Structure 1
Amino acid sequence: MPSSDETAAKGSAAPSAPPRLIVNRDGAPIPPGLRGAVAALGNFDGLHQGHRALIAAVRREAAAVGAPSTVLTFEPHPRSFFSPATPMFRLTDEAVKLAVLARLGVDGVFVRRFDAALAGTGAAAFVTGLLKGELGLSGVVIGHDFHFGRGREGTPAVLAALCAENGLACRVVEAVTAETGESPVSSSAIRASLEAGDVARANRLLGFRWFVQGEVRHGDKRGRTLGFPTANVALPGCGLAHGIYAVRVRLPDGSLRDGVASYGRRPTFDNGAPLLETTLFDFSGDLYGRTIAVEFVGYIRGEARFASAEALTARMHEDAAEARRILAADAVPSMIA
């Protein structure tokens, strides 16, 4: 993955496509390319450094026995299943998660529906029915805190014992820390950083720039009148702190553009529903109805209400200049370049 300065050097050239990922869902037969696989198990929200330690381990384990390397993950996120009325700030929706997994080099992903039947499955049946019976795995890799089965009765020790009984290899990966002295990397810590607007810490814990993707929608076209036309994307359930950010954007043709983005309610005008509004530098074109990816490189300031459109425009010029400075200096790896 290129650093930001390498990405900038590419200009608008399209990056190379990630390897093709085999995705197997409920009800579909296991394809030949995934039979006898070794699988990393988990929800993998964020695919942070701890998750990627599991991915690296599953690739090593699979290579050692000549098996496909895979991930077993669940949709919707179990927390959303158990508390459907409580919005969950997901770091990576399913589409983003699959896109990152493709770049991490696994051969395939098993996506299984998390529903009442799976929630009610005991630990032993989870291993014999799903891992060995349905998926036909030859081994699994899990994190030190992995729990599974009805009421989270399954622990790493329980899984290791059940795998031994059923002829499956099992490896447990210990916790990963981003820096000496820090607590283990976790999705919760990354969410908390983004909720505070601390993109730098979130990206450090992730090991890459956090990004979202979505379809560009029509807005009120106010940005054009201010001299800052925007590509607007709704982010349901997003807990990112409202404010102004330096961003990099992958366009539908794969090319990259630097930009400055506002995420929030537009208090100077309508104070409406939260919306990501991104101004792309040195770009002109029609993106309506197209999907873009937006990665967050740095935090500039919080959302504010201005006394006039003129005062807002003046500050937007300052924000754009600051975004260019942040983008030029950043060297965190990218998952969209």
Structure 2
Amino acid sequence: MHRWTDLDQVPPGFGPSVVTIGNFDGVHLGHRQVLTRMVADARAAGIRAVAVTFDPHPLQLHRPDEAPPLITGVRDKLELLASTGLDAVLVQPYTWDFARQSPERFVRRFLVDGLHARTVVVGHDVRFGWQNAGDLSTMLALGSEHGFSVEVIDDVKTPDGGRRWSSTWVRELLSLGDVSGAAEILGRPHRLRGVVVEGDKRGRELGFPTANLASDADGLVPADGVYAGWLSVVVPEAGERSRLPAAISIGTNPTFAGVSRRVEAYVIGRTDLDLYGDEILLEFAERLRPTLKFDSIDDLIATMTDDVAKARVVLGI
């Protein structure tokens, strides 16, 4: 899959294409259903399938106080988009210069001249151009003017026809610690990606050495608590390796009067790992319990031992 961060990187002669536009945060099952169908249609027509997305999220520029926390970072979003079979993704830097374009200029510059769109796939609520002046009727009119068709997709709902699959729903579930529920919408375990940094080394003293994730890790951190999950070490030239079972703790360590929120993972049964400076992925399977404050170290160790036993059951090890 081609990955572009500037329209100038699109090679001459690229296209014709089917293009869709969106934030695609989390690349959940609703996104995937639309994208895989779009890819299949593009293949049948012998043309390219392209997604245009944005970095940062537009609300981070226009209304930063209302901007949602992102479910996935750009790297993971691109990996997930690539898995749908797309031929290319344009990650457009969302700047004031870009935002101030008129709807007509955006369509002409990006969709017509840049990506040579034959079809543009949008939702009923599509808005684009300065101050969201462009809507579905605008896109239809511009498509008629410039020679591309517009395919309007309906909301994708759960199999029982209930709630619409959405990034908002995933965020709600993660804020409650319901990582298994979030996984049902995402179609995969929720993940965090970041570098391992030094912590207080208290876990090692207690017999449960942990890998502490840097505070700038990518991905939406779920609610405080203890989770069963998986840790993978990312090797730059090879991708991932060694998906290891883990008990993951999120919180401030109230037993030790901690104040900073941390994400740390104990690889079950391993005390020999040195992961400092490594990039890791943490995948969440199930929440085991909320964060608790213990009256004694012995109570804490007993509960951590029980956490690991429960994690083994959840992970099937």
- TM normalised by structure 1 equals 0.85
Q: Does 1:265 align with 2:252?
A: yes
Query: 1:49 corresponds to which residue?
Result: 29
- Matched to 1:134, the amino acid is G
- Is 1:317 aligned with 2:316? no
* Greater relative contact order (Cα < 8 A, sep 6+): 1
Give the 3-state SS of the residue equivalent to 1:47 in structure 2.
coil
CA offset at residue 272 of structure 1?
Answer: 2.6
Distance in 1 (alpha carbons) for counterparts of 2:309 and 2:73: 31
Deviations 1:317-336 (A, max 9, x none): 1111111111229xxxxxxx
Note the C-alpha offset of 1:34: 4.8
* Structure 2 residue aligned with 1:294: 282
1:100-141 per-residue CA deviation (whole Å, 9 max, x = no partner) reads: 112222122111111112222222222112211233333322
Residues 25 and 111, structure 1, Cα contact 8 Å, conserved in 2:
yes
CA displacement 1:186-236 (0-9 Å, x = unmatched): 111110111011112211111221111111111111111111111111354
**Which of 100, 108, 120 is the aligned partner of 1:140?**
120
State the partner residue of 1:333. none
| Mean CA deviation greater in 149-158 or 100-109 | 149-158
1:252 aligns with 2:234: yes
**Distance in 2, Cα, partners of 1:38 & 1:181:** 28
> What's the counterpart of residue 81 of structure 1?
61
What is the alpha-carbon distance in structure 1 between the residues aligned to residue 226 and residue 115 of structure 2?
Answer: 45
Relative distance call for 1:156 and 1:197 in structure 2 (3 A) is same
- Aligned 8 A contact 2:155 2:164 in 1: yes
Moved more, 125-134 or 315-324: 125-134
Equivalents in 1 of 2:125, 2:245: separation in Å?
38
Quote the Cα distance in structure 2 between the aligned partners of 1:256 and 1:118: 40
Query: CA separation in 1, counterparts of 2:257 and 2:15?
Result: 54
**Partner residue of 1:131?**
111
- Match status 1:98 vs 2:86: no
Quick one: structure 1 residues 57 and 172, their matched pair in 2 at CA, closer, same or farther if it must change by over 3 Å? farther
Percent identity over the alignment is: 35
- Flag the 1:235–1:103 CA change in 2: closer, same or farther, 3 A: farther
2:306 pairs with 1:326:
no
Give the conservation status (yes or no) of the 8 Å contact 2:192–2:221: no
Q: Tell me the equivalent position of 2:47.
A: 67
Greater shift in the superposed pair: 131-140 or 184-193: 131-140
- Whole-angstrom distance in 1 between the partners of 2:84 and 2:36: 8
* 1:279 Cα offset (Å): 0.7
CA RMSD across the alignment: 2.1
The residue type equivalent to 2:168 in the other structure is S
Change beyond 3 A, Cα 1:216–1:28 = farther
3-state SS of the aligned residue for 1:286? coil
Given that 2:192 and 2:220 are in contact with CA atoms closer than 8 Å, whether structure 1 keeps it comes out as no
**Map 1:14-53 → 2, pairs under 5 A:** 21-26=1-6, 28-31=8-11, 34-53=14-33
Normalising by structure 2, report the TM-score. 0.90
Residue 280 of structure 1 pairs with residue 260 of structure 2: no
Shift >6 Å, 4+ stretches:
none
The alignment covers a number of residue pairs equal to: 309
The 8 Å contact of residues 58 and 140 in structure 1, kept in 2 or not, is answered as no
Amino acid at match of 2:262: L
Native 8 Å contact 1:53 1:173 kept in 2: no
Report which of the two has the higher share of strand.
2
- Partners of 1:235 and 1:181 in 2: CA distance: 38
Shift in alpha-carbon separation, 1:143–1:258, aligned structure 2, 3 A: farther
